[in-house]
A and B are shown apart, each in its own frame.
Chain A
Amino acid sequence: MRLQFDFAEELPKLAQLGIGIALFLAIVGIMLLAVDRVPMKQRARLPAAILLTPALVLLAIGLVIPAIRTTVLSFRSGDRQNWVGLDNYTWMFTQPEAVIVLRNTLIWVVLTPLLVTAIGLLYATIVDNTRFERLAKSLVFLPMAISFVGAGIIWKFVYAYRPPGAEQIGLLNEIVVSLGGEPRQWLLNAPANTLFLIVVLVWIQAGFATVVLSAAIKGIPAEIVEAARLDGASPMQMFFRVTLPSIRPAVIVVLVTQCIGTLKLFDIVRTMTGGQFETSVIANEMYNQAFRYGETGRGAALAVFLFVLVVPIVFYQVRTLRQRREA
């Protein structure tokens, strides 16, 4: 494989691209034309239907049909030939290695949103209205710009191990050694290794929480804060009685987005341990089973389970949104 870009070789693709764009524009044009022709009286329903159709078709092709197919596959054998009933689900909940995967996902989902929100909140409160607030917030926000895979590689180096006596290339072991300790293989022993992986995600996401929560804190009406101060509220009381209740919606948004993001987590685990040493999570195991081991049924079952886990969170999110709008 040569990395030069050969224009002549790419011509067919460019032609396809051109045709695709032309088709798209033509369809949009025809639709707009059709909408325009409709008499004024019917303007409410029909155009809406026409305009919604492409979105619904795409949604069906890209989301609904695959979801149904995945569900069907989860009841079939690995080679997709036979019905196996609930075998794939039984495997997921009884086979010890699969149960470890579920346990890890649980650890991730419980710890990550809590840590991210707590650290973000603490940080936002501490730097609020200080002289170096902007700098401090930019610093904690920086890791957000790094992809999960990039962060995984960076932290793999942080945790790197070299034997005692040799020059340590890992930051963490270098610190341990300089304090007189023995270098350790951080990513090797369960369940501590999962915690070391969680640190990476917290490192990436804390910036997001800080920025969102900091904005919410700034949105608290000044009168309330002033009133509380006049009434002689201590800093602790200020935080728990005034700040926290006022920014509750923002905290929930952060918690929920982190929950969903963590459930789907894949990149960090795959980059750093490949799911070895009992660190695998549902999304990683799903990929392994379906695409590497050719066990489509098990992969699909894991995907369905993941979907089932995410649904109540999304449902909760939608409900709170609606409640707030009604209030």
Chain B
Amino acid sequence: MSILTRPARVALVAGAVSLTLVAAACGGSDNENTTGGQPASGDCAPFEKYGKHDGKTVSIYSPIRDAEADLFEDTWAKFAECTGIDISYEGTGEFEAQIQVRVDGGDAPDLAFFPQPGLLKRFADAGKLKPAPDKVKTAATEGWTEAWIDYGTVDGTFYAAPLGASVKSFVWYSPKMFQEKGYEVPKTWDDLIALSDKIAADGVKPWCAGIESGEATGWPATDWLEDVLLREIGPDEYDKWISHELKFNDPKIAAGLDRVGSILKNDKYVNGGYGPVSSIASTAFQEGGVPITAGTCALHRQASFYANFWPDGTKVAEDGDVFAFYLPGDDENSKPVLGAGEFVASFDDRPEVQALQEYLATPDFANARMKLSTYVSANKGVDISLAQNPIDRLSMEILRDPQTVFRFDGSDLMPAAVGSGTFWKGMTDWINGKDTQSTLDFIEQSWPQ
């Protein structure tokens, strides 16, 4: 909540509370409180279509915390004020485990931001989720491409519209270093390898990586494999791999993993600034690309959100200290993009819940959010000129490029036992010296029957 609207909200809640406590109290006073706050903070016309829901509360449960959560709250403050809905937001670092506990315990939130379509599916299959209302469905089909809609759909029923997005197929580099040494941004995979060899010949280990992330250790390596598989076997086979039509230990997957290994397990290429290959496993993913700023590493494959992890004072721009290029496809015409995002699903269908769900699916919300700080939405209706930085703009350009073939982060789509379990663990062991085939066999046997 912004400071401006805070008193109004407190008064509203206090009103609601007194209402519940003294069951027969007159309801007039809290109506006045909401309308009284309006003239001071401007026009409510854009929010009229969502109706009036004075004194109603909508709870949101989400994995997004801290500064980013505050930005969300500031974004919908106006909506909350105009519709009278009190939005109670709760962010958690243990979303995957806790959402299950809360739903099992009969304490489901009204809305949840699911970062993993696989987890969304689990709740949809269990009959816990409400299908998205028609208005949300319309807004979503207008805004997002079919691939995105599919990820919010389970067995033909559309449950959840996407919220934010991130592009994962990025390679971070130092434009300054590239200019000094005369390196060029590669256009194909072969160019990329040629560039890596050239950098290695110049005496710098070209790649750096870090996959340590507490209990989620290994996820950056799974992204590597997914990104390479999109190139190695193509999007259709990729979908089969995720649905387990293609076995995890299939020779095609092994070929993809070996291709990742040609970089990540190549002592000539890694780990720039950190040491031997095994140091990848113990380097925090937040620090994985930092050696680029010191010139001891040249390339770091990581999602767009890595823009937030550079040391203070690092300029992220095409002519700045660091920037990213699209991880090239095998040829210039194919443009597979690996990405991720959140999906807004509802556990309740009260009108005020649906109103908020509808608002979150509009470009208006994404635009308002983007005006505040760095944010990427895959919604086609979003005003790209509002992007706060060049990397956000590049991400959105890639996401809406008609040539782009978008695929969601595979580990988020697989059953949790694999996607946030053995896949992470297997990749960590693989970095730590385990061979390709036994790694893939281990992940394959863990796939729930």
Residues of A within 8 A of B (CB): 1-2, 6, 8-9, 11-12, 15, 78, 95-97, 161, 163-164, 185, 187-188, 270, 274-277, 288-289, 291-295
Contacts and interface: CB of A to CB of B under 8 A. Distances in A.
Contacts, number: 86
Contacts of B445: 95
B100 A294 contact: yes
Contact of B282 (A12, A78, A187): A187
Nearest to A269: B215
A86 B21 CA distance: 52
A274 B1 contact: no
B90 A291 contact: no
Contact of B279 (A9, A12, A95, A163): A163
Nearest to B417: A293
A169 to B, nearest CB: 12
B414 to A, nearest CB: 11
A161 B279 contact: yes
B415 A294 contact: yes
Interface string B411-449: 000011100111001001100100000000010010010
The bracket for how many chain B residues form the interface is 35 or more
A292 B421 contact: yes
Nearest to B283: A161
Given A293-B420, A295-B417, A277 B215 contact: no
In the complex, the 5 A-B pairs of residues with the closest C-beta atoms, listed nearest first: A274-B215, A163-B275, A293-B417, A291-B97, A293-B421
Interface of B: 1, 10, 13-14, 17, 20-21, 65-66, 69-70, 73, 89-91, 96-97, 100-101, 122, 214-218, 273-275, 278-279, 281-282, 415-417, 420-422, 425, 428-429, 432, 442, 445, 448
Contacts of A288: 215, 421
B282 A1 contact: no
A292 B97 contact: yes
B280 to A, nearest CB: 10
Contact of B17 (A2, A11, A97, A187): A11
A292 B217 contact: no
Q: Which of A11, A96, A270, A276 has the most CB of B within 10 A?
A: A276
Given A163-B273, A276-B281, A294-B100, 15 more contacts: A1-B65, A1-B66, A1-B69, A1-B89, A2-B70, A8-B14, A97-B422, A185-B278, A185-B281, A187-B282, A276-B425, A277-B428, A292-B97, A294-B416, A294-B417
